[in-house]
Chains A and B, each alone.
Chain A
Amino acid sequence: MSARAECARIAAGQGFWGDWLEAPVLQVEAGPIDYLVMDYLAEVTMSILQKQRNRDASQGYARDFVPLIGRILGTCIDRGIRVIANAGGVNPLSCRDAVFDVAAAAGLAGRARVGVITGDDLLERIDELLAAGIELRNMETGEPLESVRGRIRSANAYIGAAPIIEALKDGADVVIAGRTTDTALTYAPMMFEHGWAPDDWDKLAAGVVAGHINECGAQATGGNTGVDWRAIDYSEIGYPIIESFADGEFVVTKHDKLGGRVTVATVAEQLLYEMGDPSEYITPDCVADFRTIQLEQEAPDRVRVHGVRGSSATDQLKVSVSYLAGYKALGRMAYSWPDALEKARAADRTIRGRIERMDLRFDEIHTEYFGAGACHGPLAGPLGDDLPEVELRIGVKHSNDRAAVERFTREIAGLILAGPPTATGFGGGRPRVQEMVAYWPALIPKFQVQTRVEVEVVP
């Protein structure tokens, strides 16, 4: 076995679309790595990308990825670093074409291989699936998908490691996927490097744990940590790197010269993030038991992870469907001392009174006083009566009456001259009506989802 296969270094570069742009560049340039993996897709991202594709058939992917590849691909090819990202969104083929263009412009035509994975997108197949008796019932409510059929915006299956591994076997330097699971971006190269069998459940579960640590970027290396945060240098924070070994153990670390911190505390916090039931963390490739994870600080900024146990995968994939669920708008107005909170409350009563007189009906009207308990609500305890300023935040939503929400947006500005004194902070203009996109989690038998992998040399 080569030295390379004994330890594969898998570096996280993005935790969501909009994450720090310099992070993946630093992962490539500030020290040795073998893989750069980037997660661009949150549930809300898929519906936004679908909207962009509907407007322009060549769009629908994470556009940040393309100029990034232009910046780093030459270095990656020189150093043998392979890039894996779910940047393809709802249009992986167009993302691939854009990557071809930017790679060619960087002088890499004929030198770089780009793989693209398709088959996760089920939007065009909904009728076919429903006709075949796949009901795609809501996992939480049990309702059949039929009830929101006309309002569906996107539908994607969360796919696993197999197509990524296939692309790596085919020599891809860059692998572009659509809706892969976030964790597969990390454990697919671990399986590939170490030659793990697809039913070696404990090793796969270890890979899933590594993936969960990588998938939110710097949240594993000091971002958002509650322990001694003042001592952390965030300005050039190092994102996590997994040093993976063939026996399933791995070390979480970061580049020495970058900021941040890797401790049992920072890793444990990320493990608990959106964990759900720790006894069964379900992925397409195995079910991991997070109660078996052992963490050990083996050196500064190095946490060893071992002991992970897993069990067999289920025969279904999760599907995320997004659908239009209505309209909302949020109005804001700030008030200064004296009596800032009292003024904001009077403004809230004013708006609500006007809504009532106009007989506008909403599903919900929600008021918060930012600076006076907006985050923790009743848990915030007693507030001082001498606050320097408070912002009224009043939001409304309706499942279909866009006009009512639109009318509400005209009411906020009326407070500027015709409400309680010291109203300010309205420079952003009147609120926008926003579409509310809801998620419909469902399951689909695995055999219904056929992925396709194409690997081609940059033309």
Chain B
Amino acid sequence: MIVRLLDIAHARSGDKGDTANIGLIALRPEFYPILVKEVTADRVKAHFNGVCHGLVERFELRNLMALNFLLHNSLGGGGTLSLRTDAQAKTFSAALLRMEVEVPDELGDVIEGRPRGGG
């Protein structure tokens, strides 16, 4: 079935210059392999099409059941150089949680959010 990342993960984001840093954390251990498989650097780059104009790097932190993403060239120059409302990437966490991913049907019982489509 298809769910939003919001239903299986939480996130925190911030900036380093013109780069957005988004940490994505599985809400339960059984969701972590889904994040690793589904939320690739390429998918994140495509998800932020029109926002991220540079490279997307992904780092795995199995110890925290988390992935960390660096989205380069994404903040209109960053810091005080940016004309964006969200110059510090504070809401990129929520933007990433909009992404829809495929999860095994048997996980439906432990997902608190409402599945979308397919389920």
Contact = CB atoms under 8 A, between A and B. Distances in A.
A295 B64 contact: yes
Contacts of B17: 140, 439, 441
B98 A269 contact: no
Interface in A283-328: 290-295, 307, 325-326, 328
B91 A395 contact: no
B71 to A, nearest CB: 12
B14 A375 contact: no
B85 A375 contact: yes
Interface in A212-226: 219, 224-226
A56 B8 CA distance: 53
A437 B80 contact: yes
- Interface residue range, chain A: 35 or more
Interface in A341-388: 364, 366, 368, 370, 374-379, 381
A368 to B, nearest CB: 6
Contact of A278 (B59, B76, B80, B81): B59
B21 A273 contact: yes
Contacts of A326: 81
B63 A227 contact: no
A434 interface: yes
A330 B87 CA distance: 13
Interface string B56-97: 010111111110101000001101110111100001011101
A9 interface: no
Given A225-B10, A374-B85, A378-B50, A277 B59 contact: yes
A364 B77 CA distance: 11
Contact of B25 (A269, A278, A395): A269
Main secondary structure of the interface of A (DSSP, over half): mixed
Nearest to B59: A278
Contacts of A265: 10, 25
A421 B3 CA distance: 42
A185 interface: no
A135 B93 CA distance: 37
B41 interface: no
A96 to B, nearest CB: 29
Contacts of A437: 79-80
B23 A293 contact: no
B16 interface: yes
A434 B80 contact: yes
B83 A396 contact: yes
A274 B97 CA distance: 18
A379 B95 contact: yes
A43 interface: yes
A314 B43 CA distance: 35
B75 to A, nearest CB: 11
A397 B50 CA distance: 20
B1 interface: no
Contacts of A294: 63
Given A269-B10, A376-B98, A379-B47, A366 B80 contact: no
Given A269-B23, A378-B51, A395-B83, A278 B98 contact: no
A383 to B, nearest CB: 14
Nearest to A224: B12
Nearest to A216: B14
A396 B77 CA distance: 13
A275 B68 contact: yes
A330 B95 CA distance: 24
A438 B81 contact: yes
B11 interface: yes
B84 A379 contact: no
Interface centre among B12, B59, B61, B66 (most CB of A within 10 A): B12
Contact of A377 (B10, B11, B50, B63): B50
Nearest to A437: B80
B91 A376 contact: yes
A438 B80 contact: yes
Contacts of B10: 225-227, 265, 269
A151 B48 CA distance: 34
The 5 A-B pairs of least Cβ separation, nearest first, read A272-B23, A395-B83, A366-B83, A226-B10, A269-B12
11 contacts: A226-B94, A265-B10, A268-B64, A272-B64, A277-B57, A277-B59, A291-B63, A295-B63, A295-B64, A368-B84, A438-B80
Interface of B: 10-17, 21, 23-25, 27, 47-51, 57, 59-66, 68, 70, 76-77, 79-81, 83-86, 91, 93-95, 97-98
Given A272-B12, A366-B76, 6 more contacts: A226-B12, A227-B27, A270-B12, A295-B64, A307-B63, A368-B85
